[in-house]
Amino acid sequence: MPDLLETRIENRWLVHPNHANTLGATHGGSVLKWMDEAGAMSAMRFAGENCVTVSMDGVEFRRPIPVGETAVVDAYVYATGETSVRVRLRAARENPRTAEREATTESYAVYVAIDEDRDPMPVPELTVDSEEGERLRSEALAGEA
């Protein structure tokens, strides 16, 4: 059975002008796309199968990610159902020179594992074998919408 920490994905994108709106900050749609991609990779790593997005709950854009900074997206599986996988998604802005980070966006998503015919299929049970995993799971469950 996959462990929570084995599902953790962290991706980075250097924000360029083509990612930005007229205010010089990353388009919200770009941030959502990056979060969804990282979430799907986390769900697929967990399920060992293709996974599709079912929902993203209450996306909260707290602060912008300016051009020239790095968008960092963190995703991990924190709960499962019979065919579904719940993933916590967090984005941050990171200064590429100093590595200083500030949280920008958060959401929770549900993905469903599918077979070759695109029918839902069962997923394994999630295990949590460390204090760090328990902390992450507790934080995600406490923050769910």
Print burial letters for 47-78: b (CB count within 10 Å at least 16), e (below 16).
bebbbeeeebeebebeebbebebbbbbbbbbb
Please give the Cα distance from 125 to 106 (Å, whole number). 25
> What is the tens place of the pLDDT at every residue in 84-138?
999 999 999 999 999 999 999 999 999 999 999 999 999 999 999 999 999 999 9
Question: What is the model's pLDDT at position 1?
Answer: 78
**What does the pLDDT average to over 43-64?**
95
Predicted TM-score (pTM) of the model is 0.94
> What is the tens place of the pLDDT at every residue in 20-34?
999 999 999 999 999
Ordered by where they begin, the domains of the chain are 4-140 (3.10.129.10)
